[in-house]
Amino acid sequence: MWLYLGGRGAGKTRAGAEYVREQIEAGQVRRAGLIAPTAADARDVMVEGDSGFLHICAPDAMPDYEPSKRRLTWPSGAQATMYSADEPKRLRGPQHDLIWADEVAHWRYPETWDMALMGLRIGSDPRAVVTTTPKPVPLIKDIGADPNTVTVRSTTYENLPNLAPAFAEEIIGRYEGTRLGRQELLAEILDDNPDALWSRKDIEEQRVFKAPDLVRIVVGVDPQARNEPTSAETGIVVAGRDAHGHGYILDDMSTKATPEQWAQRAVTGYYRHSADRIIGEINNGGDMVEFTIRTVDRNISYKGVHASRGKQIRAEPISALYEQGKVHHVGMFPELEDQLCEWVPGDKSPDRLDALVWALTELFTGGGTDVFKPR
């Protein structure tokens, strides 16, 4: 296996696509599987993107692209089929002599990797290439520890000539000189931050892949009033609670968007998960938050909450629930988990973390402060 770890903008997709193309054009591969976090990612990034096959193949070696069949067919007859890591069972039957797994650290269901390997069983030398951001998730660590894996790292700095100056300025300005910059720029796999309130160990030990029956479900929203290059995302986290007092993180729908767009996304999450309320922080936007959400759907059950206490004081009871084994992530949420395990009290708290704290605070206290007593 070839594990290609890259910082932001380090050319991971290009490296993966070039490798697969070279193997196909050399006659070494007849059936390839292209696996991305979602079906849209496989189409938009691996195939149609600026570094995808349709842009890197020469005109006389251009594959025939059949979007409805999720398939590319080269002049030699070699084929590549697209898959979504959100649908592990689709990989149970197909056979491949090469798989290209992109952004594995962002896959919600790690068992997709097992399904893919079971189908890697034809040809004289079946192999896998993994291109991903180096998130410290167990799957990436396991792949890297495999004695048959060759690991390559590429930093953001190595690809600066090919990046837009504005992108480079924003990303480097945000991460350079920070602990997280070692991951995002230098492609290092980080261990837990000892000063953070959350630990990956606690999250991993309580992770599940199906939630039980839930008595309440809410959508927590940490809104951004503007959509500018320097703006943070709007945190949108869906969480539920069962009858036994355990919480479940069901979805992370956070997005960088206009108020109208993030409101539509929050309402979509509300209906998709049959939630009973949207919880919106009103410190940043006041009545604008409720107005924007009700513009999308005026019948939504909505509750505005005001941050009257410090972020650390609000976050500590929630992190304690994780330590007590009372909160479970349903699947994997890499960006959210990064924020939880990297945020240090005293720093500006990030969007996804805030949305999660609001949602779980509502579920465990109803907005009050007396339900965090030991049970």
Amino acid found at 363: L
Residue 162 CB neighbours (<10 A): 13
Residue 320 CB neighbours (<10 A): 14
Query: What pLDDT is stored for residue 286 in this prediction?
Result: 59
Query: Predicted confidence band at 140 (pLDDT cuts at 50, 70, 90)?
Result: very high
CA distance 47 to 36: 11
Q: Find residue 277's DSSP bridge partners.
A: 218
Third-level CATH fold of 200-365: Nucleotidyltransferase; domain 5 (3.30.420)
Q: Which two tokens stand for residue 92?
A: 């149970």
CA distance 263 to 94: 40
Query: Predicted confidence band at 178 (pLDDT cuts at 50, 70, 90)?
Result: confident
What's the chain's Rg over C-alpha atoms? 22
Taking only the tens place, the pLDDT of each residue in 186-228 is: 999 888 888 899 999 999 999 998 999 999 999 999 998 665 6
Query: What pLDDT is stored for residue 138 in this prediction?
Result: 86
CA distance 191 to 341: 10
Alpha helices in the chain (DSSP H): 12-25, 39-41, 53-56, 111-118, 138-145, 165-175, 179-184, 200-205, 259-272, 287-296, 311-323, 334-342, 351-365
Parallel, antiparallel, or unpaired: how do β-strands 71-73 and 64-66 relate?
Answer: antiparallel
Q: Find residue 304's DSSP bridge partners.
A: 280
Mean pLDDT, rounded, of the chain = 90
Query: What pLDDT is stored for residue 180 in this prediction?
Result: 80
CB distance 371 to 364 below 8 Å: yes
Domain 2-184 has CATH 2.30.40.10: no
CA distance 175 to 161: 19
Q: Which two tokens stand for residue 123?
A: 């040809």
> CATH 3.40.50.300 occupies which residues in the chain?
2-184
Q: Which residue has the higher pLDDT, 226 or 109?
A: 109
Query: Predicted confidence band at 370 (pLDDT cuts at 50, 70, 90)?
Result: very low
HSE (CB half, 13 Å, CA atoms) of 231? 17
pLDDT of 149 higher than 70: yes
> CATH 3.30.420.240 occupies which residues in the chain?
200-365
Residue 91 CB neighbours (<10 A): 25
pTM: 0.73
